[in-house]
Amino acid sequence: MKSTTKALPPPGETEAHPPAPHGAGARPARHRLVRLLASGQSSVVGLVLLIVVTWTVFGTVGSGFLTSFNLYSIGQLAARDAVLGMAQAILVVMARMNLAVGSVGAICVSLLGYMLVDAHVALPLAILVIVVAGVLASLVMGIVELKTGLSSFIVTLAFLSAYGGGALLITRNANYEITSSVLDHLGSGTFLSAAICPLVAVAVVCGVVVWLAYNKTAIGWKMLAVGANERAARASGVNAPRVLLAGYALSGLLCAVAALMESSYELNVNASIGTNWLLPSFIAVVLGGVALAGGDITVAGILLAALFYDSLQSGLTILNVPSYWLDLAEGLVLLAAVVADQMRRNRQRRGRRERRERLAVVGGGASVA
Q: What is the CATH number of the domain that holds 63?
A: 1.10.3470
Collect all residues with Cβ–Cβ distance below 8 Å to 332 and sequence separation of at least 6: none
Number of domains in the chain: 1
Query: Distance between CA 225 and CA 218 in Å, rounded?
Result: 10
**Cα three-residue angle 62-66-70, rounded to 5 degrees:** 95
Please check whether residue 184 lies inside any domain of the structure: yes
**What pLDDT shows up at residue 328?**
80
Q: pLDDT 10s per residue in the chain (369 long)?
A: 555 554 454 444 434 444 444 444 445 544 444 444 444 556 788 888 888 988 998 888 877 888 899 999 999 999 999 999 999 999 999 999 999 999 999 999 989 988 888 888 899 999 999 999 999 999 999 999 999 999 999 999 999 989 988 888 888 878 888 888 888 888 888 888 888 999 999 999 999 999 999 999 999 999 999 988 888 889 888 899 999 999 999 999 999 999 999 988 887 888 888 888 998 899 889 888 888 888 888 899 999 999 998 998 888 888 887 777 777 877 787 787 777 767 766 776 676 677 666 766 666 655 555
Query: Distance between CA 177 and CA 181 in Å, rounded?
Result: 12
Query: Distance between CA 328 and CA 147 in Å, rounded?
Result: 38
Per the CB < 8 A criterion, the answer to whether 259 and 134 are in contact is yes
Query: Distance between CA 281 and CA 277 in Å, rounded?
Result: 6
Query: Distance between CA 347 and CA 186 in Å, rounded?
Result: 43
**What pLDDT shows up at residue 363?**
61
**What pLDDT shows up at residue 246?**
95
Q: Say whether 222 sits in a helix, a strand or coil.
A: helix
**What pLDDT shows up at residue 54?**
87
The H-or-E segment that residue 40 falls in is none
Domain range enclosing 123: 41-343
Main-chain phi, psi angles of 4, to 5 degrees: -155, 150
Please check whether residue 365 lies inside any domain of the structure: no
**What pLDDT shows up at residue 61?**
83
**What pLDDT shows up at residue 351?**
67
Query: Distance between CA 243 and CA 219 in Å, rounded?
Result: 7
Query: Distance between CA 316 and CA 325 in Å, rounded?
Result: 9
Please check whether residue 4 lies inside any domain of the structure: no
Please check whether residue 31 lies inside any domain of the structure: no
Write b or e for each residue in 126-136: b if 16 or more Cβ atoms lie within 10 A of its Cβ, otherwise e.
bbebbbebbbe
Query: Distance between CA 153 and CA 151 in Å, rounded?
Result: 5
Please check whether residue 2 lies inside any domain of the structure: no
Per the CB < 8 A criterion, the answer to whether 206 and 257 are in contact is yes
In the 3-class helix/strand/coil scheme, how is 281-311 assigned residue by residue? HHHHHHHCCCCCCCCEEEHHHHHHHHHHHHH
**What pLDDT shows up at residue 166?**
85
Please check whether residue 238 lies inside any domain of the structure: yes
Please check whether residue 135 lies inside any domain of the structure: yes
Alpha helices in the chain (DSSP H): 29-38, 41-61, 68-92, 101-113, 123-148, 152-171, 181-188, 198-216, 218-228, 230-235, 240-266, 278-287, 299-318, 323-368
